[in-house]
Amino acid sequence: MNQDSVVYLNGVFQPLSDAKISVLDRGFIFGDGVYEVVPVYHRQPFRMAQHLKRLENSLAAIRIPNPKSTAEWEALFLEMIRQAPYEQQVVYLQITRGVAPRDHGFPQGATPTVFMMVNPLTLPTPEQVEHGVACVSAEDFRWHCCDIKSTSLLGNVLLRQTAVEAGAMETVLFRDGFLTEASASNVLAVKDGVILAPPQDHLILPGISCDAVLEFAPMIGVSVDRRPVSRAEVLAADELWLTSSGKEVLAITTLDGKPVGDGKPGRVFKKMWAYYQTQKP
């Protein structure tokens, strides 16, 4: 990221190189914060309302009072988008509990730290869309509050590194024999033309792109079965997909070195990918 890029920190738009926070910020000391990542196409945010709702839920879950109203967040996002030099962007927002002497309990009267930056949006390459990507699998050893979009991401970081070291795109996670999600994506399976989606509970993040895909399913004539999905069902699936703001929807064509279905992006994936493209701003 260019050091001159404009970032937002606690009310001030400033060059990245000038943006400084205290080493006592609880985001640094404890990972005590939440974040959002909003994709922006042609300077238009995708599903802003849903991202702001998820932000509100994450803040409420960790009991940080929301420092801004929805209208104020919207205005701030639009200003960040306006100032950034890219047409396709990804806006990152992080809110921490603020700066305080190190003590696990919540500090009295700390002001939340609010940080935003914009990076260029890097979508999957045409080759990845056409051929799909390789993934590995691992046991999901994260905490039980994965529905909170928390900056405490050590579990996700370690699990992603498993994929990196295997030359794979993502690590697909199973908890007690059931599919949860991946290190930074949701995972959907397709069997006999039906999308199988793990339940939206505290074991997975409510992904905005996953919700979009599930909402688009009837539009492409596909039904959704939202229920626990076993490892055996994942291994026998016709198709597996990743969804995330940066990946949109992407086919997994090998899992742990074995082909998914016939080893090529499936028929339902192709329809969904094409439909998704029509729904972007």
Ligand X SMILES: Cc1ncc(COP(=O)(O)O)c(C=O)c1O
Q: Are strands 194-197 and 258-259 parallel, antiparallel or unpaired?
A: unpaired
Among 209, 222, 234, 265, binds ligand X (CB under 6 A): 209
Alpha helices per DSSP H over the chain: 26-30, 48-61, 70-83, 126-131, 154-165, 208-216, 231-235, 267-279
Structure tokens at 183: 């290190």
Among 25, 140, 181, 239, binds ligand X (CB under 6 A): 181
Specify the 3-state DSSP secondary structure of 161.
helix
210 binds ligand X (CB under 6 A): yes
Quote the least distance from Cβ 110 to ligand X, whole Å. Answer: 26
The answer to whether residue 149 is catalytic is: yes
d(CA 209, CA 33): 22
Q: Are strands 133-139 and 248-255 parallel, antiparallel or unpaired?
A: parallel
Quote the least distance from Cβ 137 to ligand X, whole Å. Answer: 15
Q: Which is nearer to ligand X, 154 or 236 (CB)?
A: 154
Q: Which is nearer to ligand X, 207 or 261 (CB)?
A: 207
Which residue out of 20, 68, 149, 271 is catalytically annotated? 149
Among 34, 184, 188, 229, binds ligand X (CB under 6 A): 184
243 binds ligand X (CB under 6 A): yes
Contact indicator for 104, 30 with CB cutoff of 8 Å = yes
Sites of contact with ligand X (CB under 6 A): 37, 156, 181, 184-186, 205, 207-210, 243-245
Catalytic residue numbers? 149
